[in-house]
Structure 1
Amino acid sequence: MPKTALVTGGGAGIGRTIAEALLARGHSVVAADLRFPDGVPEGARALVADVSTDAGVRAMIDDVEAREGPVDVFVGNAGLGFAMDAASPDEDWARMMDVNLMAHVRAARRLLPDLAHRGGSFVVTASAAGLLNEVGSIGYGVSKHAAVGFAEWLAFHHAADGLKVHCLCPEGVLTSMIGFAPYLRERAVTPEAVAAALMAAMDAGRFMVTTHESTLKGLAVKAADYDKFIRFMARETEKRRDEA
Structure 2
Amino acid sequence: MELREKVVVVTGGGNGIGAALCRRFAAEQAAKVVVSDIDMANAEAVAKEIGGLAIQCDVADESSIQALVKQTVDECGRIDVFCSNAGITVKGGIESPNEDWMQMWDVNVMSRLYAARAVVPMMLEQGSGYLVHTASAAGVLTEIGSASYSVTKHADVALAEWLSVCYGRQGINVSCVCPLGVTTDFLDNDDPIHRYLHLHAITADDVAESVVNGMREKQFLILPHPEVAEFFSLKTDDHDRWIRGMQRLRQKLTREMKKRDAA
TM-score range, shorter chain: over 0.9
Distance 2:53 2:42 in 1: 15
Matches within 5 A, 1:93-108: 93-108=101-116
Counterpart of 1:113?
121
Distance 1:193 1:2 in 2: 23
Offset at residue 189 of structure 1 (A): 0.5
Counterpart of 1:143?
152
Distance 1:225 1:20 in 2: 40
Gaps of 5+ in 1: none
Q: Which structure has the bigger radius of gyration?
A: 2
Q: Which residue among 6, 21, 24 is the counterpart of 1:21?
A: 24
Q: Equivalent residue of 1:158, what SS?
A: helix
Matches within 5 A, 1:18-167: 18-27=21-30, 28-35=32-39, 36-37=41-42, 39-40=45-46, 41-118=49-126, 119-167=128-176
Identity of aligned residues (%): 36
**1:67-91 Cα distance to aligned partner (Å, 9 max, x none):** 2222111011001012121111111
Single out whichever of 25-34 and 134-143 deviates more from structure 2. Answer: 25-34
Q: Equivalent residue of 2:169, what SS?
A: coil
Distance 1:232 1:37 in 2: 41
TM-score (structure 2 length as normaliser): 0.89
TM-score (structure 1 length as normaliser): 0.95
Single out whichever of 22-31 and 135-144 deviates more from structure 2. Answer: 22-31
Offset at residue 212 of structure 1 (A): 1.4
Distance 1:159 1:67 in 2: 27
Offset at residue 37 of structure 1 (A): 4.5
Offset at residue 186 of structure 1 (A): 2.1
Single out whichever of 123-132 and 175-184 deviates more from structure 2. Answer: 175-184
Counterpart of 1:189?
202
**AA partner of residue 54 (structure 1):** E
Distance 1:201 1:213 in 2: 13
Counterpart of 2:233?
220
Offset at residue 208 of structure 1 (A): 0.9
**AA partner of residue 32 (structure 1):** S
* RMSD after superposition: 1.5
**1:135-170 Cα distance to aligned partner (Å, 9 max, x none):** 010000000000000001111111211001111001
